């Protein structure tokens, strides 16, 4: 059980730090690049999407490891135990879509709950970041009028 808690804490911590750094880089790029408003917003959106995808794949690798280990439970249903199945499951969990065709058992259930909570927080953080980015562009546009 201690190992499951350690892996879960590591997955969440790395996801949060990775997301923080991605948003920092996007913020820095927004200040350094002299691009049109639409391009700046697109850079922010696509950069945030890339960060989310990396975090989802990271959780998927965690699921793959935990699934193939005898200590953490299992994933059952429409699931073959491949990395791509883990990525699909991670996408549906991180986004809280929860299709339900794959079901976790054992300690993996806690990991699934933590990923859903982490995804919710990080997606909300991204929405806030993009709102502030858009607000900055809107303020510039109204000042120039």
Report the CATH number that the domain containing residue 117 is assigned in CATH.
Answer: 1.10.287.70
Q: Which domain holds residue 91?
A: 2-14+42-144
Secondary structure (DSSP) of 116-138: HHHHHHHHHHHHHHHHHHHHHHH
- 26 in a domain, yes or no? no
**In the predicted model, what is the mean pLDDT of residues 131-136?**
84
CB 40 within 8 A of CB 23: no
**In the predicted model, what is the mean pLDDT of residues 23-45?**
86
- 37 in a domain, yes or no? no
pLDDT at res. 143: 66
Angle value at C-alpha 140, between 32 and 23, nearest 5 degrees:
40
- 124 in a domain, yes or no? yes
CB 86 within 8 A of CB 93: no
- 22 in a domain, yes or no? no
Q: How many domains does the chain have?
A: 1
- 70 in a domain, yes or no? yes
Q: pLDDT tens digits, residue range 59-76?
A: 999 999 999 999 999 999
pTM flag (> 0.95): no
- 28 in a domain, yes or no? no
- 101 in a domain, yes or no? yes
- 34 in a domain, yes or no? no
């Amino acid at each position: 059980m201690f190992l499951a808690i350690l892996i879960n804490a590591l997955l969440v911590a790395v996801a949060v730090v990775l997301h923080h750094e991605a948003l920092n880089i996007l913020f820095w790029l927004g200040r350094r690049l002299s691009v049109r408003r639409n391009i700046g917003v697109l850079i922010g959106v696509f950069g945030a999407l890339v960060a989310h995808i990396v975090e989802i794949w990271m959780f998927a690798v965690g699921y793959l490891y935990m699934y193939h280990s005898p200590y953490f439970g299992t994933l059952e249903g429409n699931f073959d135990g491949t990395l791509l199945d883990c990525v699909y499951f991670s996408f549906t969990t991180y986004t809280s879509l929860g299709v339900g065709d794959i079901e976790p058992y054992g300690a993996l259930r806690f990991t699934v709950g933590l990923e859903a909570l982490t995804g919710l927080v990080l997606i909300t953080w991204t929405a806030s970041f993009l709102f502030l980015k858009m607000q900055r562009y809107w303020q510039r546009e109204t000042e120039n009028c």
